[in-house]
Structure 1
Amino acid sequence: MAGLGGQPVFIMSEDAERQTGEDAQENNINACKSVAKAVRTTLGPKGMDKMMVNSVGDLVVTNDGVTILDEMDLDHPAAKMMVEVAETQEEEVGDGTTTAVVLAGELLKQSEDLLDQEIHPTVITKGYRLAREKSNEVLDDIAEEVDLSDDEVLQRVAMTAMTGKSAETARDYLADIAVQAVKGVAEERENKFVVDRDMIKLEKNEGASVEDTELVNGVILNKEKVHGGMPEKVDEAKIALLDSPIEVRETETDAEINISDPGQMKNFVEQEEEQLKEMVESIDQAGANVVLCQKGIDDMAQHFLAKKGIYAVRRVSSGDMDKLAKATDANIVTSINEIESSDLGNAGTVEQRKVGGDSMTFVQDCPEAKSVSILIRGGTEHVVDEIERAMEDAIGGVSSALRNGRVVGGGGATEVELAQELRDYADSVGGREQLAINAFADALEIIPRTLAENAGFDPIDTLVDLRNKHDDGETWSGINVTSGKSEKLFDEGVVEPQQTKTQAVSSASEAAEMILRIDDVISASGMGDDDGAGGPPAGGPPGGPGGGMPGGMGGMM
């Protein structure tokens, strides 16, 4: 920068890198397209899996979009924004992460042509915003209603979410578990269903078949009883939840105890035992026959509890304590000496069972359970992990369908219908914005195109056939990935929550708009000094798109 008398004035460190204008836009768009390309082949029932190996050799095999992006450890700042799209989709809906990322990448790809035509990024972002708002209106018009009594539709939503994952072989059975789990925690408030997904606990253990997965109306604790003399099973359990230790409290101040003879030592030990015995007596008098403690239980206290026939577990996590309180209707007690029978919760049985070599505590058959657990089984650790991700998607999809009360068709049907409506809408919009709206419509069709490609069918022929069906008024006509034909998949069980689509369109559009408005990228000095992959290189991405991302990702593109 020129200063007085032509003397340059430096406002940034010499090590800092800066990209401006078209170079910055091109680099950001290429990075985001690379991320979308990396996950694109995982979309749909015929999508492929990715094998992710981290620096210490841990292995993940999955086709779950958000898991892949988390494991990729991206460095490029624009690429990280694509990860945020997936994470937002996962948090809000629980499914549709790959759709959101692929759509965001395609919106940016379509914007390249518009930028080449000298259309200003502000005009493109305005057109995308109008298209997003119109898409949400259309989704509200075409969506079908669903409620808690529609078990068949909810099961279809769960099965659609699991299709293409390892759980597909037992998806009918698993979908029923997912629906029952969500219905078990759903609460109606002000004519709307509220589903707290945190109240559905997934516990996994390898060593059996997928069909051995089970739903428990209560909570499964990966803990065993603290003393061998305690009962293995307690029927009609009265449960005390404690968040204080069953131990002798240490004094708050530093103190010394001088013991001069064995008699004093004996008295001291007896006093400690008496304190522990009083604690156990308080629990017993309240009527509890099961104690679940968030903190420690002294060895002597364990002995006294066992003599009373009380089943006890220690070091229960705070999250599990909340679930137990919801499931058993118990109060979490802080002061053991003040425990009353009204604080106790109820369960049909509490028992210790051996599951795949591990001892677990099952708190089940709770009469008013508002917390449930799913014990996921599978042959190997990697299978169990992938089934867990599939169940999370299914639970997220069913929860979203209930919360929103609306569902739409899958198989690309919704995206093609939105594209048709947007093209009609673009004709009514004046100015260059209509070009951006048409580009948005073209981008939406990346979903059916990708579904066709991943299934081995010609994407152009498939898309033409779909467009013709939608022109004839078949709103839910989507691609059958088995036959390659356009069919009314909604009637055949390919159903998704409306929120999956609204969130994917909104997140992808907003991310694309934000990236398009960036015309200056300044990388601080020292970024990427270790491996040279920290920030966007000054001359654009070397050797292809996605500059600035780790080399380990190259094999996935």
Structure 2
Amino acid sequence: MAQQMGNQPLIVLSDDSQRTSGKDAQSMNITAGKAVAEAVRTTLGPKGMDKMLVDSSGGVVVTNDGVTILKEMDIEHPAANMIVEVSETQENEVGDGTTSAVIVSGELLSEAEDLLEQDIHATTLAQGYRQAAAKAKEFLDEQAIDVSPDDTEELEKIAATAMTGKGAENAKDLLSDLVVRAAQSVADDGTVDTDNIKVEKVTGGATENSELIEGVIVDKERVNDNMPYGVEDAKIALVDDGLEVKETEIDTEVNVNDPDQLQQFLDQEEEQLREMVESLSEAGANVVFVDGGIDDMAQHYLAQEGILAVRRAKSDDFTRLSRSTGATPVSNVNEIDADDLGDAGSVAQKDIGGDERIFVEDVEEAKSVTLVLRGGTEHVVDEVERAIDDSLGVVRVTLEDGKVLPGGGAPETELAMQLRDFADSVGGREQLAVEAFADALEVVPRTLAENAGHDPIDSLVDLRSRHDGGELGAGLDAYTGETIDMEGEGVVEPLRVKTQAIESATEAATMLLRIDDVIAAGDLKGGQVDADSGGDDEMPPGGGGMGGGMGGMGGMGGAM
């Protein structure tokens, strides 16, 4: 890039740098965003298809989970990565609706493209989109249906809706029951911390063999074969240290001149270990989990006392055991007492999927639980886990917010109708942007119809007619192609899934529309590019080939 200054050109960018400006930059970014949306569009709905993602070393992921697909794809274009962020935000905030959020974002860009060609300014579009998004969230709040945290039946419908179309659908009745029970178990004052729900994957068996453990599974074994396999009415001690003789913190040297002196040292160490075990026994502990190691002699004494011991337990396991059983971790085992112990109906070592693990079960009012997921193959159980994560997310936000909406494209159709009415009250060219926003929302019911093999035009016309007649819950039955009452059929989604999707999609689309210049950069100090990603003459990821319009999207094709 050079500017003429007098008789001498002023060099601003190096000859190797690339720059795309004006409508070319807008068109390039819109095309990239639409390409990302198109990549996941066929996965939406009960009849959505799966994607197989293969990496360079032959690793395979089979899924129709939008955020997983976009994370695993080799996407390089910077604008495309901004659309990927929409799915990641949706996943972090809600857990479900990632595909919907991305395709709405792509459709907002597509609608904007037509208006840009009509010389509507990008800033005007952005302002209109924001107005429409704010009004859309108001309309959604008005349509929301209240759900009680104790309404287990409704919560199971919400969990089942999130699983529909995924690999776990064949066992969704069982799994939705497990998810709701798990979420209700760890709920605390209206909030649910999903970190207290551990998901344990086991390859082997059928998905229907999955179960909920009211307690914790620790991926460890008892340290000594002479210890009991199981303990009933367990009193559990958590020792945040090792059952070993402590070494001095400074280097010391002891000269021993007599064998009796050596024996005294050994006897003293043995006595220390015996006192540790006696402290546990006197406190009433019959199960102990230790953060560090357990000396062989201590193992012997523990086995003699009939105490089941586990060493080098993970910190996450300690947290879950404490939350679940009520045990208080202690750092000095000699000071432990009965008040520090936790309670469980049983603690036992069991074989599951060919691995020995410690099951801590039958815990009253457990605040930490474990979902054991089974599947015939590793890929199956991985997809079941993704479905469970989505279901846990939607049940969590429903318990926190207490509001849901009908699914099947019903909210989007109703919003589109109401936004078109609202557009008449909007002055200036922003009115066109609001109408475009309404059209973009209808991509959800249209895509549901297309993926199910139904005529999208007929489906949309029928949906609009029913909503015009006041049927707020009318949505598309993907299996029959008919328009039915979604709430009556039990197809419901949390309010936050829709509001978050609209908010994220709008922000990403408006940010991309306002970009009119894409310039090669060095090491960005405040951006998303790592210092290692390029020198002064290099573009950020995807920069190479920007002049071709898609700049860097070739990686996407390779990943697909």
TM-score range for the pair, normalised by the shorter chain length: over 0.9
Q: 1:276 to 1:12 in 2, by over 3 A?
A: farther
Partner residue of 1:485 out of 464, 482, 487: 482
Identity of aligned residues (%): 57
Deviation at 1:278, TM superposition (A): 2.0
The match for 2:519 is 522
Structure 1 residues 254, 444: closer, same or farther in 2, change over 3 A?
A: same
Among residues 329, 334, 343, which one is paired with 1:332 in the alignment? 329
Amino acid at match of 1:247: E
d(CA) in 2 for partners of 1:298 and 1:18? 66
Partner of 2:526: none
Q: Once the 2 structures are TM-superposed, how far is the Cα of residue 309 of structure 1 from its aligned partner?
A: 0.9
Cα deviation, residue 117, structure 1 = 1.0
* Mapped pair 1:205 → 2:202: yes
State the alpha-carbon separation in 1 of the partners of residues 252 and 510 from structure 2: 65
Determine if the alignment matches structure 1 residue 252 to structure 2 residue 249.
Answer: yes
Alpha carbons 2:78, 2:541 under 8 Å: kept: no
Q: TM-score, normalised by structure 2?
A: 0.94
The residue that corresponds to 1:304 in the other structure is 301
Structure-1 residue corresponding to 2:462: 465
Q: Give the whole-Å Cα distance in 2 for the aligned partners of 1:80 and 1:198.
A: 28
CA contact (8 A) 2:62 2:383 kept: yes
Match of residue 447 from structure 1: 444
Q: Equivalents in 1 of 2:471, 2:179: separation in Å?
A: 30
**Letter of the 2:212 counterpart:** L
Q: Does 1:540 align with 2:547?
A: yes
Q: What is the match of residue 102 of structure 1?
A: 103
Alpha-carbon displacement from aligned partner over 1:82-121 (angstroms, at most 9, x marks no partner):
2211111111111111111111111111111111111111
State whether structure 2 residue 552 is matched by structure 1 residue 551.
no
Amino acid at match of 2:77: H
CA contact (8 A) 2:407 2:486 kept: yes
Q: Which amino acid aligns with 1:409?
A: P
| Long gaps (5+) in structure 2 | 523-531
Residue correspondences, number: 548
Deviation at 1:337, TM superposition (A): 2.1
2-structure distance, mates of 1:408, 1:119 = 34
Q: Aligned equivalents of 2:301 and 2:467: distance in 1?
A: 73
Alignment partners' CA distance in 1, 2:87 and 2:257: 68
Counterpart amino acid of 1:270? D
- 2:494 is matched with which residue? 497
Shift of residue 524, structure 1, vs aligned partner: 3.2
Residues 532 and 434 of structure 1, relative CA distance in 2, 3 Å threshold: closer
**Structure 2 CA distance for aligned equivalents of residues 159 and 417 of structure 1:** 23
Closer, same or farther in 2 for the Cα pair 1:16/1:249, shift >3 Å? farther
Distance in 2 (CA, whole Å) between partners of 1:11 and 1:533 is: 18
Deviates most, 259-268 or 249-258: 259-268
1:418 counterpart = 2:454: no
Q: Verify the 8 A CA contact 1:202 1:375 in the aligned structure 2.
A: yes
For the residue of structure 2 that corresponds to 1:503, the secondary structure is helix
1:245-273 deviation digits (Å, cap 9, x = unpaired): 22222222233344455544433333332
Distance 1:478 1:24, change over 3 A: same
Structure-2 separation of matches of 1:129 and 1:258: 80
Which has the higher mean CA deviation after the structures are superposed, 271-280 or 152-161? 271-280
> How far is 1:533 from its partner?
9.7
1 CA distance for matches of 2:487 and 2:13?
Answer: 57
The Cα shift of 1:534 comes to 3.4
Query: What is the CA-CA distance between 1:135 and the residue it aligns to?
Result: 0.8
Q: How does 1:68-107 map to 2 (within 5 A)?
A: 68-107=69-108
After superposition, what is the alpha-carbon deviation per residue over 1:327-351, rounded to whole angstroms, capped at 9, x for unaligned? 1111121222222211111111111
| Shift in Å, 1:78 | 1.4
Pairwise CA distance, 1:320: 2.0
Work out the CA distance in 1 between the residues paired with 2:511 and 2:6: 39
Amino acid at match of 1:288: A
In the alignment, structure 1 segments of 5+ residues that lack a partner are none
Aligned residue for 1:354, secondary structure, equals strand
Note the 1:73-222 alignment, pairs <5 A: 73-188=74-189, 193-222=190-219
Post-superposition shift, 1:4? Answer: 5.1
Q: Distance in 2 between matches of 1:424 and 1:251?
A: 78
Q: Structure 1 CA distance, aligned partners of 2:439 and 2:547?
A: 27
**Aligned position for 1:380:** 377
Deviation for aligned residue 1:147: 1.2
Which range is displaced more, 284-293 or 165-174? 284-293
Per-residue deviation, 1:552? 5.3
Matched to 1:300, the amino acid is M
Contact 2:158 2:493 in 1 (8 A): yes
Residue type of the partner of 1:357? G
Moved more, 310-319 or 15-24: 15-24
How big is the shift at 1:149? 1.8
CA distance in 1, matches of 2:484, 2:61: 35
The structural deviation recorded for 1:354 is 0.6
| Structure-2 separation of matches of 1:267 and 1:57 | 60
What are the superposed Cα offsets for residues 369-427 of structure 1, whole Å, 9 maximum, x if unpaired?
11111111111111111111111111111111111100001110111011111111011
2:100 is paired with a residue of what secondary structure?
Answer: helix
SS at structure 1 position matched to 2:234: strand
Q: 1:284 aligns with which of 281, 284, 293?
A: 281
1:19 corresponds to which letter in structure 2? T
- Cα gap change, 1:282/1:10 in structure 2, threshold over 3 Å: closer, same or farther? farther
Look up the equivalent residue of 1:133 and give its one-letter code: A
The farther-off stretch of 158-167 and 323-332 is 323-332
TM-score by length of 1: 0.94
Could you tell me how far 1:5 is from its partner in structure 2?
3.4
1:506 Cα deviation from its structure 2 partner: 0.6
Q: Distance in 2 between matches of 1:426 and 1:79?
A: 30
Paired with 1:174 and 1:293, the residues of 2 have a C-alpha distance of 33
Where 1:246 maps in the other structure, the secondary structure is coil
Is residue 364 of structure 1 aligned with residue 367 of structure 2? no
Checking the alignment, whether the CA contact within 8 Å between 1:523 and 1:535 is kept in structure 2 is no
